[in-house]
Amino acid sequence: MTTQKEEYPLKKVCIICAKGTIEDVYATLVMANGAVMEGIEAKLFFTFFGLDAITKNRMEKLHTSTVGNPAMRMPGGLPFPTILGMIPGVEAGVSSMMKSQMDKLDMPPVKEFLEMIVAGGGEIYACKLAVDMFKLKKEDLTEEVVDIITVGDFYAMAGGIGTQIIFT
Amino acid sequence: MAEKVLAGTSVTVNAEGYFENPAQWTKEMAVEMAKDYNITLTDKHFAVLEYLRQQHNAGVQLTIRKVGNSGITDIKELYQLFPGGPLKISSKLAGIPKPTSCV
């Protein structure tokens, strides 16, 4: 029996963001923006701590963890001792340094990044269960959010040949 | 690398059709290439192409955000001008290399 390998070009990505650190949120945003820039449809689903990225009073205050992050390095490349990361203010300092590095590469702040994705036709959704859990309301979320939806609604959008679900 | 005849002149392009030498580019070539994407170039399109060429010549790594902040167009309009590839297609039509940035 011969099997013919068929490839379908990617048409749509459905990206789930469940964590609220800088790197998790930006992985989602970069992949979504990269998709729409290539003419690929993008649907974003923010859940659990990922909701921070679309919550008005938290979205520009994301941090990266300086504790329990073995990949963390000091400027210059030396390992970053976890005990340093525990000192108050260190996490904030590291996070703002990361943001300034990203800005140099033209990675915008979260709100602007979401606007860019929406401008390209991407759609932003919030997870109903997580919104209820964190006792948030639609008005607590940034205007780029289309709707608060269930997992079932999200899967309903994820059909079709050439669609992939990505969990960042 | 390949030779391609655009607007009656032979130019050098890479495998994906991007110009190897931006100096070979003319507006007429852009008009002809745009037909492949069903785009009819307007003054607005040309303003974007000129901006891209100018930035490329200045050695700037282009991103969609830079174009959006250029004052020529916003990002939403850029998507409308070059559907399906706001930075890729515009760079190709501008006769500059394929953008290497992920944003």
Predicted confidence (pLDDT) per residue in A18-68, tens digit = 999 999 999 999 999 999 999 999 999 999 999 999 999 999 999 999 998
> From first to last of its 103 residues, what are the pLDDT tens digits of chain B?
789 999 999 999 999 999 999 999 999 999 999 999 999 999 999 999 999 999 999 999 999 999 999 999 999 999 999 999 999 999 999 999 999 988 8
Distance CA A11, CA B82 (A): 18
Q: What class has domain A12-167?
A: alpha beta
Distance CA B23, CA B98 (A): 15
Residue A6 has pLDDT above 90, yes or no: no
pLDDT value of position B86: 96
What the block records as the tokens of B78 is: 């850029």
pLDDT value of position B1: 77
Q: Do B79 and A34 touch (CB under 8 A)?
A: no
Residue A89 has pLDDT above 60, yes or no: yes
Q: Do B84 and A120 touch (CB under 8 A)?
A: no
**Between helices A22-37 and A90-104, what is the axis angle to 10°?**
20
Residue A1 has pLDDT above 70, yes or no: no
User: What SS3 state is found at A134?
Assistant: coil
pLDDT value of position A7: 83
CA A27 vs. chain centroid, Å, equals 5
Q: Do B75 and A108 touch (CB under 8 A)?
A: no
Which residues of B are known catalytic residues? 102
Distance CA B3, CA A71 (A): 47
Which residues in chain A have their CB less than 8 angstroms from residue B88's CB? 37-38
User: What SS3 state is found at B55?
Assistant: helix
In the structure, what pLDDT confidence band is assigned to residue A2 with cuts at 50, 70 and 90? low
To probe the interface with B, which of A36, A116, A118, A144 has the most B CB atoms within 10 Å? A116
